[in-house]
């Protein structure tokens, strides 16, 4: 048995260059997101995977067409999850990150941000942590490595700095923060399929190492409005520095809880 966990976002898919005015996303972009996930599923199964769990991690987290998923894959959807978008990863053997984007503030990237634009900086143990880093750290907490990541050129360069042995696929190159040179979707899906197959073969052989953060994990988070920082200080152990910056130190599950509290509840309340 070899189980693959696929965390899937939409900003790093082919053709996506600006956020939707309202949610859920339009059908065209949801179809492309589902298609790129399917390419990863098909490649994973060809490489020897026996079971697939897909986690929708974009906005309301109800974007992937479940009925169209290949390989009878299971789907986790919906918001306000304990581990953000990585719940049940502990039951898996390898992680794929499909359609992700660079972290907030990254130059020459398509829609760079970290969870939402209300967070201007987020560091774990002094490392600027985008969504891919958070994903890898959550998986690594349970001893599960990341084997494949897809997205724009800036994202691939970012994730390769802390996961140097990672298999990657570039689907587009930024022309501006809301513009890109997009490679053809069929070319992208074929490359994802082939790379996913190779990643699982390497994963079965134990060629990937999990990203494990030393505990206690130090969280530093800067937000756009002082009221957000004030609300976070209601959590025991959260310290405030200046108007918009908070600090916290604890186990990784405790740190993820603080981040999840902000993203899923505090930022949604205003």
Q: In degrees rounded to 5, what are phi and psi of residue 29? A: -75, -30
Q: Is 61 exposed, middle or buried (0-12, 13-18, 19+ CB in 10 A)?
A: buried
Same domain, 74 and 187: yes
* pTM of the entire predicted model: 0.97
Q: How many domains, the chain?
A: 2
User: Residue 268's pLDDT is what?
Assistant: 85
Same structural domain, 169 and 226: no
Task: Tell me the residue range of the domain where 85 lies.
Answer: 3-115+130-204
**pLDDT tens string 217-229:** 999 999 999 999 9
**Are 106 and 181 in a shared domain?**
yes
What are 30-40's pLDDT values in tens digits?
A: 999 999 999 99
Residue 112 has pLDDT above 90, yes or no: yes
pLDDT of residue 259: 98
Please indicate, yes or no, whether residues 235 and 176 belong to a single structural domain of this protein: no
The CA distance from 90 to 264, in Å, is 22
> Could you give the percent of the chain with pLDDT greater than 70?
100
Is the residue at 248 inside a domain? yes
In which residue are the tokens 């976070």 written?
232
* Whether pLDDT at 24 is above 90: no
pLDDT score at 22: 82
Report the distance separating Cα 216 and Cα 233, nearest Å. 19
Stretch 77-92: mean pLDDT: 96
What does the pLDDT read at residue 55?
A: 98
Supply the pLDDT for residue 21: 83
The model's pLDDT over 133-165, given as tens digits with 9 standing for 90+, comes to 999 999 999 999 999 999 999 999 999 999 999
Residue 187 is assigned to a structural domain of this protein: yes
Q: Which of the listed residues 153, 174, 204 is the one where a domain comes to its end?
A: 204
* pLDDT tens sequence across 178-236: 999 999 999 999 999 999 999 999 999 999 999 999 999 999 999 999 999 999 999 99
40 and 165 co-located in one domain: yes
Assigned domain for 136 exists: yes
Distance CA 20, CA 3 (A): 33
Asked, for residue 120, whether it belongs to a domain, the answer is: no
Please tell me the predicted confidence (pLDDT) of residue 196: 99
Mean pLDDT, residues 15-27 taken together: 90
Q: Considering the domain boundaries, does residue 123 fall inside one?
A: no
**135 and 258 belong to one structural domain:** no
Same-domain pairing of 110 and 222: no
Residues 57-80: pLDDT tens digits? 999 999 999 999 999 999 999 999
> Within this chain, do residues 225 and 149 fall inside the same structural domain, yes or no?
no
Of the three residues 159, 183, 204, the one that is the final residue of a domain is 204
Q: What is the pLDDT of residue 190?
A: 98
- Report pLDDT for 270: 63
CATH label of the domain that carries residue 85: 3.40.50.10780
pLDDT of residue 106 exceeding 70: yes
Same domain, 41 and 156: yes
Within a domain: 258: yes
262 with 224, same domain: the answer is yes
Mean pLDDT of the residues in the chain: 97
Last residue within a domain, chosen from 204, 228, 257: 204
Q: Are residues 137 and 251 in the same domain?
A: no
Residue 122 lies in a domain: no
User: Domain for residue 160, yes or no?
Assistant: yes
Q: For the stretch 134-150, what's the b/e string if a residue is b when 16 or more beta carbons lie within 10 angstroms of its beta carbon? A: bbbbbbbbbebbbbbbb
Same domain, 158 and 199: yes
């Amino acid at each position: 048995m070899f189980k693959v966990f696929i965390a899937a976002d939409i900003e790093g898919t082919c053709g996506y260059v600006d956020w939707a005015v309202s949610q859920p996303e339009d059908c065209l972009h949801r179809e492309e997101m589902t298609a790129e996930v399917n390419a990863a599923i098909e490649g994973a199964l060809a490489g020897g995977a026996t079971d697939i769990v897909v986690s929708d991690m974009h906005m309301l987290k109800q974007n992937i067409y479940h009925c169209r998923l290949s390989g009878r894959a299971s789907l986790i959807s919906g918001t306000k999850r304990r581990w953000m978008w990585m719940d049940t990863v502990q039951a898996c053997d390898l992680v794929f990150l499909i359609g992700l984007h660079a972290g907030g503030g990254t130059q020459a990237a398509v829609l760079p941000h970290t969870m939402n634009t209300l967070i201007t900086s987020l560091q774990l143990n002094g490392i600027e942590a985008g969504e891919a880093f958070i994903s890898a750290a959550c998986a690594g907490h349970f001893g599960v490595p990341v084997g494949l990541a897809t997205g724009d050129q800036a994202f691939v360069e970012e994730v390769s700095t802390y996961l140097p042995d990672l298999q990657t696929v570039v689907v587009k190159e930024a022309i501006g923060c809301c513009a890109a040179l997009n490679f053809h979707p069929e070319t992208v899906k074929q490359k994802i399929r082939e790379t996913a197959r190779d990643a699982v073969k390497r994963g079965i052989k134990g060629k990937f190492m999990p990203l494990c953060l030393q505990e206690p994990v130090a969280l530093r988070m800067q937000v756009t409005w002082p009221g957000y920082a004030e609300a976070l200080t209601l959590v025991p152990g959260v310290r405030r520095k200046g108007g918009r910056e908070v600090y916290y130190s604890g186990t990784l599950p405790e740190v993820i809880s603080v981040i999840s509290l902000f993203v899923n509840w505090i930022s949604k309340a205003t």
